[in-house]
Amino acid sequence: QRATVHLVAVHRPGGGTVRVLLDDQPLRVAGGAAEVRLQSAHALRVLNVNFEPADLKAGARTVTIECLEPGPVALDYVWVKGG
C-alpha cells in the first residue's frame, strides 16, 4: 500500500538539516532531495514536511532521523497518510 510520511518540525533561523529514513532508506521530498533544512529567514515556524509516497506493507517499521548539519532541531510529530 502506498502512503505518505509527514514530519512536522520547527523551522527557525540557524535551524539544522536532517534526513529521515524509513527502514534504512531515505525518504525524499518533492524534487528528490533527501535532506531537509529546518530553517526560516526570520521567524520561528512549525511546518509540515511531506515526503514522496512510499510502499508500506503491514508490520513494524523503523523511522530514523539523522542530523546532517548543526543547528537546533525541534520535532513535533511524524504522521502517515495511507492511500
pLDDT digits (tens, 9 = 90+) for 9-65: 999 999 999 999 999 999 999 889 999 999 999 999 999 999 999 888 888 999 999
Is 80 exceeded by the pLDDT of residue 71? yes
Neighbours of 14 (CB within 10 A): 10
CA atoms within 13 A on the CB side of 20: 26
The backbone torsions φ and ψ at residue 72, rounded to the nearest 5 degrees and listed phi first, read -60, 140
